[in-house]
Amino acid sequence: MSTTKTPLEYTNEPERHDLRTLLVRKDAPFNAEPTPLDLVKHYITPVPHFFCRSHGPIPDLHEDHTFSLHGIGVHNETMSWSVKEIKTNYKKREVMMAMQCAGNRRDGLHRVKHTKGVIWGPCAVGNAVYGGCRLREILESAGVTTDIPHLGKLHVSFKSIEQCEEGECYGSSIPLTKALDPFGDVLLAYEMNGEPLTRDHGYPLRVIVPGYIGARSVKYLKSITIQDFESNSFFQRRDYKILPQHVEKEEQADIYWQKMPSIGEYNVQSYVCSPPDGLHLGPKKGVAVQGYALSGGGRSIQRVDVSGDDGKTWVEASLYQPSAEGKSTHVWGWCMWTARIDTHMGVRIVCRAVDSSGNIQQEHPIWNYRGVMNNSWRTADKRLDLLL
C-alpha cells in the first residue's frame, strides 16, 4: 500500500494586496508578520499589519457554514449551528485581546541552534478587538454547565476545516474550566476590529481564547467535542510543547511528546520595536525607544525596564495599557511602552517586562527543539558566540 501523501492545493488562496508590507516567512502555507515599526504604529493592530499564521490552504467558506457540538454533558447526541444562527440567537460580545504565536521570536532560538518550525521574528503578535458570542453561552444552551461531574478533568476539543501539511485537519483543545469561566471571555468570533473576519484570520468563524497561545484559537471551526482527554490532534499532542534542551532531533522528541504538557497560557514578553530590534547608529543621548509587552492568563504588565548599556542600568518605561484601566478582572490586551535612552556604540537597546504576578523575562535564551516561548531579554545575534 502506498503511503505517499497527496500534495495540498494552494490554487484558491485569498487576495493579499493589502498585506504587501508583511514579511513573508513561508509562502505555502502562508505565514507572514509585520515589520517592528509597523507593529507599534497602532494600539489596536490593523488587519494589514496583523501576522498571518496558516498550516495549510485557506478554506473558502460562507455564512451558511455550520459547526457541530457533541460529547459529555450535551443534551442531544449532536447539536449544530450556522454562523447566521449564532449571530441572530446569541448576544454579540467584544473582547480586546493580544494574539501571540507560541513561536514568536523563534529566530532568536534558531540562531543558537536549529529549531523546527516557521522562523518567526518578533512580530508574530498583534492586538485586536474580536466580536462574537461567548462559547460559554453556546455550551450552556446545550446543557454543559459548571454543574457537570468531574469538571476539572474535562476538555473542549476544537476541529477545523483547514487541511494541514501534517496530514490532517487542524485541531486543538482547552480545559472546559476555561471555556465555562464567566471571566474567561472565550468567544466564537465572526468579527475582527469591527469587520467580518478575513479568510486569513478565520472567516467565517473562529475560536478566540484570551491569554492562551494562538494555537488554541482555532480558525474555520468545524466541530466542538466535550471529552475527558485533550485533543488527539497533532498540534496538541506532538507540537507546541517545550521539550528538554538535549532533544535536538525528531527521533529524540518521540519519547517526550506524551510526557510534556501542552502549552496553554503564554509567558511574559516584551520587545524593542523602535529602533527596530534595538539596533541603532551609535552613541546618542535621549534616543526615543518604543515597544510592546504582554503576558498570558489575563495578567497585566506592571513594569517595563529599558537599557542602553547592556543591562548595567535600567530606565523605567512609560506604559500605555488602556486594557488594564478600571476594574477588569483580567487583562487580555497588550501594553505599549516608550522610553528615552542614552545609547552606546555597538550595544543593542534591550527591554524586560514584569507582569502583575511578578513574573519577569529571563536574561538568556532557553533553547528548545520547537523554538517556542522565547522571552529572553537578550537576543542571539547571527554570530552564535555573541549575545546582545
- Summarised one tens digit per residue, pLDDT across range 246-267 is 999 999 999 999 999 999 999 9
Report the pLDDT averaged over residues 186-204.
Answer: 98
Question: How large a percentage of the chain has pLDDT more than 90?
Answer: 92
Question: How large a percentage of the chain has pLDDT more than 70?
Answer: 96
- Give the model's pLDDT for residue 385: 42
Lookup result for grid cell 539596533: 279
Residue 386 binned pLDDT confidence (cut-offs 50, 70, 90): very low
Cα–Cα separations (whole angstroms), residue 93 to 184, 205, 271, 366: 13, 14, 30, 38
- Cell of residue 28, nine digits: 505555502
Query: Each residue of 86-97: pLDDT tens digit?
Result: 999 999 999 999
- Residue 13, SS3? coil
Residue 77 binned pLDDT confidence (cut-offs 50, 70, 90): confident
- Give the model's pLDDT for residue 382: 56
Query: Each residue of 306-356: pLDDT tens digit?
Result: 999 999 999 999 999 998 987 678 999 999 999 999 999 999 999 999 999
Cα–Cα separations (whole angstroms), residue 366 to 209, 371, 380: 26, 9, 11
- Give the model's pLDDT for residue 4: 61
Q: Determine the Cα angle at 93 with ends 89 and 99, to 5°.
A: 130
pTM: 0.95
Residue 146 binned pLDDT confidence (cut-offs 50, 70, 90): very high
Q: Which amino acid is at 168?
A: E
Contact (Cβ atoms closer than 8 angstroms) between residue 210 and residue 184: yes
Lookup result for grid cell 535536538: 248
Report the pLDDT averaged over residues 77-86.
Answer: 95
Task: Decide if pLDDT at 81 tops 80.
Answer: yes
Residue 3 binned pLDDT confidence (cut-offs 50, 70, 90): low
Contacts of 380 (CB under 8 A, 6+ apart): 108, 109, 111, 112, 365, 386, 387
Average pLDDT, the chain: 95
Exposure b/e, 289-301, CB count within 10 A at least 16 = b: bbbbbbbbbbbbb
Query: Each residue of 30-60: pLDDT tens digit?
Result: 999 999 999 999 999 999 999 999 999 999 9
Contact (Cβ atoms closer than 8 angstroms) between residue 14 and residue 54: no
Report the pLDDT averaged over residues 139-152.
Answer: 97
Q: Which amino acid is at 378?
A: R
The DSSP output letter for 303 is E
Residue 380 binned pLDDT confidence (cut-offs 50, 70, 90): confident
